[in-house]
Amino acid sequence: MSTENRDTVTTSTENRDTVTTSTENRDKVATSQNRDTVYIGKKPLMAYVTSTLIQLATFPQVTIKARGMSIGRAVDVAQIILRKTDAGHSIGSIKIDSELLESQDGRSRNVSTIEITVKRNN
């Protein structure tokens, strides 16, 4: 797989609903984060499914991460990959946690997070 194709599935930690990166940010993003992680946000569900499947073609396992209201969508992405593809994928691990974030009004609050590892079966 060429570098150009892998860059289209790069995710961003700053904007949780970003799946693709622009050509200008390619070098910065490629060196600053894991490329085997998909951050779930507000884009259509199949955008994340496609991104995860493309990464699974390159990496033996991909981590799907979400927090807050996007947790259900992350579970949906993992289930679609397991049930609707014939490629043979499995769930490696599921990690549930919470993060302490500061809200816009200055108060700190807990936000639930989930990490689902999807593995490619050989």
> Which residues pair with residue 91 across a beta bridge?
118
Q: What is the pLDDT of residue 33?
A: 55
List the helix and strand counts (H, then E) for the chain. Answer: 4, 4
- Tens digits of residue pLDDT in 8-54: 333 433 344 434 333 333 333 333 356 899 999 999 999 999 999 99
Average of pLDDT values for 55-64?
A: 93
Predicted structure pTM score: 0.70
Q: Is 110 exposed, middle or buried (0-12, 13-18, 19+ CB in 10 A)?
A: exposed
Mean pLDDT of 96-110: 93
Alpha-carbon span 107 to 64, nearest angstrom: 28
Distance CA 52, CA 58 (A): 10
Q: What residues make up the domain containing 75? A: 3-120
Q: Could you tell me the CATH number of the domain that includes residue 71?
A: 3.30.110.20
Give the number of domains in the chain: 1
- Characterize the bridge pairing of strands 61-67 and 37-39: parallel
